[in-house]
Structure 1
Amino acid sequence: MNNMINTTEALTSVIDRAMKVPQVGFDTEFVWEQTYYPSLGIIQISLSDEEAFLIDAPAIKDMAPLGKLLANPDVMKIFHDAQQDLTILRRATGAFPQNVFDTQCAAGFVGLSSSISLSALLGDAIGVQLPKTETRTDWLKRPLTDRQVEYALDDVLHLHALHDRLYSKAQECGHETWLAEELAKYNDPGLYEDNEIQEVFRRVKGSGRLEAKKLVILRELASWRESEARRRNRPKSWVLSDETLISISRNSPRSVEDLNTIKPISKKEIQRYGEALLREVKKGLSIPKDKRPKVTAHYKDEESLGARVDFVLAYMKGKSMAAGIDPTLVATRAEITSLVREGPDANINDHRLLHGWRREFLGEDIIMLLAGQLSVRLDTNTGLPQPITDIK
């Protein structure tokens, strides 16, 4: 059988069949080295554990049929580590995905890591061993070798059995409702939009060491760099380095002459971006104090906060271990810190931990701990934290 789909007609034929099955396995292979956006090489889909196809993405001009499948709520799409694949497919097809099952996410609800690799999960869950021989291959080069084709097909042929095993295990653990709630995030169109450009400065290395009046300049510079990288479809580090953005933010240049004194920006970069950089610096300087981003407090300045955060983290990890849920799925240290800082009167709208299954599992406990309405002891049998609510 010819597994490679390289025309819209062939794609339509396979998608028509996929629309009639309950589940379709999905994966993508791409190259992401010299571009802002990943360059999609192939898309793998499986209709069962025995039938799979490779979609030659560069060869197909119209991905609308695939988009219809992604958006069909009646067909479950099974991915491993779905977020990146779905974002890529959303951009390729224009469709917003519906009814997604993420095997990596599901693993976190059944006593495994929520960052586990597909090969490790297949081995742990259903005893399948996959060779990982083509992880650094060029998926844009044609023709694909027989080994590449076999590798790509293997990645989706076992997803159906893996789904069945993980969902069954989630039911055994009593976590299937929480899992369904977590997976519902993939139905939200906002998940796939480039709408956080004003927050990218938080990911600039060194941003945490800037005071507020410098941080607001970095925010404008980082947003500009992100837009420029998207426009040119080049890695943002190819536009300007993090080090350069930090240096400009610290020095707040008002003129090209000022820029020339700043390292490590080059003369070529000044010639190309000088006007834009000065414009963004000026914009940052004009923003009033009450509109500046908040500076993250450091533990050395808030020792008591650090102690409370460490205590809550230990409680979260212990409770997660006892329940068979990966603690990294529940909350990050930053989320715990934010909630602990606000205390028992925290605004529910500002914290993921105070919504849905996370509130039921942990959020309520944290609020009670912070309000002095809950205490914790170590279970002598398990060695794990155990809540005590009958405080006298």
Structure 2
Amino acid sequence: MSTIFQNGVTIHLHRHDLPAGLALGPVIAVDTETMGLDPRRDRLCLVQLSDGSGVTHLVQFIPTSLGGRGFDAPNLSALLTDATTVKLFHFARFDVAALHNALGIDVAPVKCTKIAAKLVRTFTDRHGLKDLCKELLGVEISKQQQTSDWGAAELSPEQQAYAASDVLHLHALWARLEALLKREGRLELAEACFRFLPARGRLDLMGYDEPDIFHH
């Protein structure tokens, strides 16, 4: 494990798995970085986790002869499938598919800030993480490293800081969005969408994203 400090944030970088016995609380923010935007083709490179305290844990996966499939990360997998731990994502549909493809797990229970935003912020089409953080939290986050090479054997401090920023604000963001869902009477509908996400990810991996079976 290596540790860096960036702008008051502590970033722990692990290889291949989390350390045994790591406790992150009942709600953790999770994100992934991959080699591209097709979870069937593009391998998982990094998983980011935060308990909302300003400390983040990054789990880096190095390529194998399997081409990035079938990673063995028992501690991370146990955390992501723990029924007593809520996992917060932004655009969970992609992340749960990538994690299923790489680790063979169904991540649950999950909540997705993008789905929540689309359910209650119908006055705008700006539902990206950067937009939501700015508008709901007054926080500016940089996307400068978004298209960098996440498959590199050594991740730069800038890459690590970018990866950490994607999970640092999800707890606060969810709190704001949950309040809006309750106000608009759509929390129950959101929860139903969240429960379906692992199945939606598996459908995407099977090629049912286009054509979508929910289309006419």
Normalising by structure 1, report the TM-score. 0.46
> Residues 143-177 of structure 1: CA distance to partner in whole angstroms, max 9, x if unpaired?
21111111111110111111111101111122111
Shift of 1:200: 7.9
Q: How does 1:122-141 map to 2 (within 5 A)?
A: 122-141=133-152
Choose from 65, 68, 82 the match for 2:78: 68
- From 2, 17, 26, the counterpart of 2:23: 17
CA distance in 1, matches of 2:39, 2:138: 37
| Deviation by residue 1:88-116 (Cα, 9 ceiling, x = unmatched) | 11122211111100000000122245772
Letter in 1 for 2:112: D
Structure 1 residue 164 corresponds to structure 2 residue 202: no
Aligned to 1:148: 159
Alignment match, 1:100: 110
1:1-392 equivalent positions in 2, closer than 5 A? 2=3, 3-6=12-15, 8=17, 11-13=18-20, 16-18=22-24, 21-32=25-36, 37-58=41-62, 62-112=72-122, 116-188=127-199, 191-193=201-203, 196=206, 202=211, 335=215, 338=216
Aligned partner of 2:78: which letter? K
Equivalent position amino acid for 1:134 in 2: Q
Asked whether the equivalents of residues 49 and 159 of structure 1 are also in contact (C-alpha less than 8 Å), the reply is no
**Hey, what's the Cα distance between the residues in 2 that align with 1:200 and 1:100?**
20
Report the count of equivalent residues. 199
Deviation, 1:140, is 0.9
Q: Deviations over 1:10-41 (max 9, x none)?
A: x1336x313xx111101111112899521221
Q: Secondary structure at the match of 2:88?
A: strand
Secondary structure in 1 aligned to 2:20? helix
Question: Cα–Cα, structure 1 residues 125 and 174, in superposed 2: closer, same or farther, change >3 Å?
Answer: same
Higher strand share: 2
> How far apart in 2 are the matches of 1:30 and 1:131?
18
Larger Rg: 1
Q: How far apart, CA to CA, are the structure 1 residues paired with 2:77 and 2:187?
A: 28
TM-score, normalization by structure 2: 0.80
The answer (yes or no) to whether the contact 1:49–1:161 under 8 Å persists in 2 is no
- Structure 1 residue runs without a partner (length 5+): 204-333, 339-392
* Cα pair distance change 1:115/1:68, threshold 3 Å: farther
Cα gap change, 1:172/1:98 in structure 2, threshold over 3 Å: closer, same or farther?
A: same
Equivalent residues of 1:107, 1:114 under 8 A apart: no
RMSD: 2.8
Structure showing the higher helix proportion among its residues: 1
**Quick one: structure 1 residues 201 and 168, their matched pair in 2 at CA, closer, same or farther if it must change by over 3 Å?**
closer
Q: 1:106 touches 1:166 (CA, 8 Å); kept in 2?
A: yes
Name the CA shift for 1:201/1:29 in 2 (closer, same or farther; >3 Å): closer
1:322 is matched with none
Output the CA distance in 2 between the equivalents of 1:195 and 1:132: 27
Unaligned runs of 5+ in 2: 4-11, 65-70
- Percent identity, please: 25
